[in-house]
Amino acid sequence: MKTKHIAPAKAIHPGEILMDELEAREISQKEFAIKLGIQPTQLNEIIKGKRGITAEHAVLLGKGLNMEPIVWQNLQSLYELDRVIINERTQNRLVAIEEWDKIKNLIPEKYLKKMGAISGDPVHDLPYIKEFYDLNTLEELPAVYQKTESFLNRKSTKNTVDKINLMGWVNLIKATAKNIQIEKFDHRKEKEIITGLKKILANNKDTIEKCKKLLASYGINLITLKHPEKCAVDGVCFWSNKNPTIGLSVRYKRIDNFSFTLFHELGHIFCHLKENKETQFIDVELSMDIDHSKAEKEADQYAMDQLINPSNWEDFVTLPNRLEKKSLVKFAQLEGVHPAVVKGRLCFELNSYTIKVDIDNLLG
């Protein structure tokens, strides 16, 4: 079996080992030089690492210390090998540090360290960054952010979006999705998926994990990942391998917000990604009052219609007691959704988020 030689941080000259050997045997340098028939200065240069051990020296040292000559020859060879490796390793590190300094402002370094994606060692982190952003060379990194605009389907009017942090979050979702193996996706199971999710959301217990498990059984990845600073991202949707993937930041720990965002991304899957596996949708600041693209409007409508039947909703909003808790809860039960979803929809349509109906909306 082959063994890999690992160079130490410092190359050890065989002269240091020779000095230790002489001291252990209480032999003086002068005495030993005379015994070997070499000049004391020559022996001293070997001990101080200023002179190498030749084959002749190895034979003499072996005989003088009752050791195999090959031991000293090997020690000299290892020293020279270590010097070459250490020098190459140092040069590689210097190059890596220089390259890292060029790109560190183009990646969310702080966020990726916090999430454990990079270690802070440029020698190890640079190859990861190339794979992380799907780059052939690091010079391609600026182009990643030029492409972002075409994928940013809903833009926040309230918060400034840091594109570097945003793409770091998106790519961390993608990196996670690559390592997940789930069932084959079948778009014909749409109704089953919606029905199953609504039951989980209405019950609101261990909601995220149950949604992940259900979606995985139908071939859809659901990944939740905390968002970076200055990045009001809510969700992303794309294909990974042969499966559609949803990434959610869960910025708001509310069941109504989680329900709508999840169904919005499902809208992208069943309305847009089903026929186009090359695109992706990045949703920032999911809010119905923000101007956005046709695809986003369709995803919004999908979420609303799948959570609550449109004609049933029209009837409900005309009821005089629609703002009473009893009426609201009853309608939610009929629709199979959590009451907070109904209250959230009312708040939006009435443009009033101070409706005094005591409904617990905490995500369970």
State whether 73 and 114 are in the same domain. no
State whether 297 and 320 are in the same domain. no
State whether 118 and 138 are in the same domain. yes
State whether 298 and 158 are in the same domain. yes
Higher pLDDT, 15 or 150: 15
State whether 155 and 291 are in the same domain. yes
Beta bridge partners of 292: 154
> Helix, strand, or coil here: 152?
strand
Q: Is residue 6 part of a domain?
A: no
Domain stop point among 265, 287, 307: 307
State whether 243 and 172 are in the same domain. yes
State whether 120 and 255 are in the same domain. no
Q: Is residue 361 part of a domain?
A: yes
Residue 265 and residue 256: Cα distance in Å, rounded?
A: 14
Mean pLDDT, to the nearest integer, of 27-36? Answer: 92
Residue 121 and residue 53: Cα distance in Å, rounded?
A: 37
Q: Is residue 5 part of a domain?
A: no
State whether 145 and 157 are in the same domain. no
* 121 neighbors 115 (Cβ within 8 angstroms): no
State whether 111 and 158 are in the same domain. no
Taking CB atoms within 8 Å and a gap of at least 24, the contacts of 67-73 are 72/14, 72/18
Mean pLDDT, to the nearest integer, of 102-111? Answer: 94
Mean pLDDT, to the nearest integer, of 74-98? Answer: 86
Mean pLDDT, to the nearest integer, of 205-218? Answer: 97
State whether 142 and 156 are in the same domain. no
Mean pLDDT, to the nearest integer, of 334-355? Answer: 87
The pLDDT of residue 149 is 54
The pLDDT of residue 293 is 79
State whether 236 and 124 are in the same domain. no
State whether 318 and 204 are in the same domain. no
Does residue 70 carry a pLDDT above 70?
A: yes
The pLDDT of residue 104 is 94
Q: pLDDT tens digits, residue range 225-241?
A: 999 988 888 999 999 98
Q: What is each CA distance from 40 to 30, 37, 47, 116, 323, in whole angstroms?
A: 5, 9, 11, 56, 102
Percent of the chain with pLDDT over 90: 68
Q: Is residue 354 part of a domain?
A: yes
The pLDDT of residue 182 is 94
Q: Is residue 158 part of a domain?
A: yes
Q: Is residue 7 part of a domain?
A: no
Q: 113: domain range?
A: 105-149
Domain stop point among 259, 290, 307: 307
The answer for residues whose C-beta is within 8 angstroms of residue 341's C-beta and 6 or more apart is 201, 255, 256, 259, 260, 307, 308, 332
Beta bridge partners of 221: 245
Which CATH number belongs to the domain containing residue 95 in this structure?
A: 1.10.260.40
Q: Is residue 9 part of a domain?
A: no
Q: Is residue 156 part of a domain?
A: yes
Domain stop point among 149, 184, 212: 149
Per the structure, how many domains does the chain have?
4
Mean pLDDT over the full length of the chain: 88
Higher pLDDT, 159 or 310: 310
